[in-house]
Chain A
Amino acid sequence: MAAGYATADEISASTGAASYCGSCIQALTTLTGDPGGTPVVVEIERIGGDLLVVTLKPIDGANFPQRHVSGGHVVLSIKDEKGWVSRPYTITSPPEEVDRRVLVVRCLTSGRMGRVLARSHGNARARIGTPRGDAFARLKRRRATAFLVAGVGLTPALAALRAKNGPPVAFVHASFREQEPGLERVLADACAPRNVPITVLNCKVVGLQSASDFTALARKHPGIDWFICGPVGYEKAVRIGLRAAGVSSARVHAEQFVASSSPGDSPPARIRTQAENNWAKTGLWLVAAWCAWAVLPPYEAWSEWQSSDAWRTTTGLILIALIAWQWVFPSLRGRGGLGRARRLELWHRAIGALSPIALLLHQRDLAHGLLCTLSILFVANTIVGSLDKTCVSDASHRERYMKFWLPTHVATSCLITALSVWHVIMVVTYRGGAS
């Protein structure tokens, strides 16, 4: 900046910053306050789900000043209420098309750019930076390359297929998490002119591809190069599979997804896993069962059975043990043992969800006063625990939600623990009549 470069694009061009993967471009934009680049008109075509084909044309109707290299990427900057948001994307249009650049974008509303694009109706103020990078630089042009792609990671394959002088494509093997007709259509349109075979897998139907699937695939196609692009887990499975098939690492090329963010951005919202979702649902169903038990007339035989001292002591000790165990997770987090805490999180959720069963076994009736308060707090905390931050998909809403959720959950848990200790003391020190 001291040398007179005022925009992120100029700094990138002069220093090479953000030219390799582009993940630090947002930091440069925030630093300079100006992304630079060419002002463009944004045309958005929704191709199903959260997928967009974004076509960018210079605002003055002229051609772009530079041709890009097949497999290159470009930084798209759009202004929102917080300022400029810049993200790098692979250019999927051929280098010969100099009047437009076409991107395929998965528009996640948990991300800032996703939110801007979702709201955009073609009137967004946007700029596009100088094209950078060459994802196909290491490919041997004379050797055929198979593209193993997953989800929106098919963009390098589109770039290779559409470019007149792109790498020769042996076949495209695409995996989608569910049926993605928009992506399939875009891929088929790109493959058709060159008669490139395509395999499309719907992972919801056939399951996630494992390393052994890719080993088998590599053994069927010896002597070719492999280009991988997809989520981290997918790329890892492909690499392991190809290595097991004896493919040299020099023949394996990859483009990785990178996450960029602004310094003030909310952290990306973690999506609730299937297991977490199942435990949350289990907890809510058990709370509903407890409510039904509280409302319905007591079942005499059950009440009599519960009256046994041995039964009540045993189930009471189980409840105390469950409450004590639930404190291990926050204690680990508080001490910075995030790895161990993460491993325990599902157990924390599972035990919290199942705890109404222990309460139903122990409790004879709704009781009275503080004891009634304890049981209501206990089931209320199961509801609070089930409705944790992962049920809010939007990152900024999630942050606001957490401001109320965490104090509620912690304060309720502390009250439950204190009231349980009080209950144990009362049970031990206050006795009914002698028998």
Chain B
Amino acid sequence: MTRLIWTRARKRAYGAAVIALLALLSLLMWPDAAWLQAAGKPTPGHENLQCSACHMAAPGELRQQLQASLRYFLGLRESPAPIGNADVANSACYACHERPTEHHPLSLMGELRFLDVQTEHGVHNCTGCHQEHHGVRVTASPTICSNCHSDDLVVNDPITPDHAALFASGKWDSCLRCHDFHGNHQMKTGDYNYPSTLEQGVASQDVLDHLGAGKSAYGPVLHPAKQAVSPK
């Protein structure tokens, strides 16, 4: 094997590289700088969570994980095997966000009749709509309601314009102006504790801000998140 020729210029250059790599290694090993390693900004409210709050070790040893992955790539196994850390499970979200009341519980969203929308949008998992490391509360489209509610029929519809007219005109981005998806906010307004006109509801821009990283568009939170994971 040919030996490397270390000229003075090369020594200086690779000396600088070693210093830079040591600085990077120190940064990677510094616990307070763990946020730098995340794929993106945390979801609002998750700033103080540790990585291990959501990322649990995958089952099996590394050798078994690699073996299973290889079998999957060779077509000898049906599903891919996680290496290192497992997929983030709903249980990790429920550790903080399990509530006594829920308008769209996972038990409902996981029913077989919603198989199409489960396959397309993953609505049977929290992460289907709330992907972490995007710096926003909701990553799903604000018109996602259309997947399940396009055939709904509201009898004696009290609102103006009525639901049928809104569905017909495809205004699916207006749903969240009157409906709090998870029902975790106090939204008492109008005769039925709901707005009866779109004007009484939340402004479209406020809804978008709420789904993003802006302030909450709805009323006070009914069941705040539990502090299941101690903040750093």
Contacts and interface: CB of A to CB of B under 8 A. Distances in A.
A, B in one complex: yes
A196 interface: no
A192 interface: no
Contact of A369 (B19, B38, B51, B128): B38
Contacts of B13: 406-407, 409-411
Interface of A, helix, strand, loop or mixed by DSSP: helix
Contacts of B27: 370
A336 B5 contact: yes
Contact of A434 (B2, B3, B89, B133): B89
A310 interface: no
A420 to B, nearest CB: 12
B122 interface: yes
A403 B11 CA distance: 11
5 contacts: A368-B133, A369-B37, A433-B126, A433-B127, A433-B131
Interface stretch (A258-266, A281-289, A423-431): A423-431
B24 interface: yes
B24 A429 contact: no
Contact of B10 (A334, A368, A370, A408): A334
Contact of B15 (A368, A407, A413, A433): A407
Nearest to B65: A429
A414 B12 contact: no
B88 interface: yes
Contact of A368 (B16, B40, B89, B125): B40
Nearest to A406: B13
A433 B39 contact: no
A82 interface: no
B55 interface: yes
B155 to A, nearest CB: 36
A275 B13 CA distance: 26
B87 interface: yes
B122 A407 contact: no
Interface of B: 2-5, 9-10, 12-17, 19-21, 24, 27-28, 35-41, 51, 55, 82-89, 122, 125-128, 131-133, 135
B12 A415 contact: no
A368 B35 CA distance: 9
Given A335-B4, A368-B38, A414-B20, 8 more contacts: A334-B10, A335-B2, A367-B39, A368-B41, A402-B9, A415-B24, A432-B132, A433-B87
B5 A334 contact: yes
Given A336-B5, A433-B125, A434-B127, A411 B20 contact: yes
A414 B24 CA distance: 11
B140 to A, nearest CB: 12
Given A334-B5, A407-B15, A433-B131, A368 B39 contact: yes
A51 interface: no
B19 A411 contact: yes
For the complex of A and B, the 3 pairs showing the least CB-CB separation, nearest first, are: A433-B127, A429-B84, A407-B16
A336 B17 contact: no
A371 interface: yes
A402 B88 CA distance: 49
Given A410-B16, A411-B16, A414-B17, A429 B28 contact: no
Contact of A430 (B3, B84, B126): B84
Contacts of B51: 430
A433 B5 CA distance: 49
Contacts of B89: 433-434
A435 interface: yes
A432 B131 contact: yes
A353 to B, nearest CB: 21
A369 B35 CA distance: 7
A428 B84 contact: yes
A419 interface: yes
Contacts of A419: 24
Nearest to B120: A435
Contacts of B37: 369-370, 422, 426
B15 A426 contact: no
Nearest to B41: A368
B21 A429 contact: no
Nearest to A435: B122
Interface in A62-115: none
A128 B5 CA distance: 43
Contacts of B131: 432-433
A418 B28 CA distance: 11
B87 A432 contact: yes
Contact of B85 (A369, A422, A430, A433): A430
Contacts of A407: 12-13, 15-17
A368 B42 CA distance: 10
A407 B13 CA distance: 4
Contacts of B19: 411
Contacts of B125: 433-435
B48 to A, nearest CB: 16
A422 B10 CA distance: 25
A412 B126 CA distance: 39
Contacts of B35: 369
A236 to B, nearest CB: 31
Contacts of B24: 415, 418-419
A336 B10 CA distance: 12
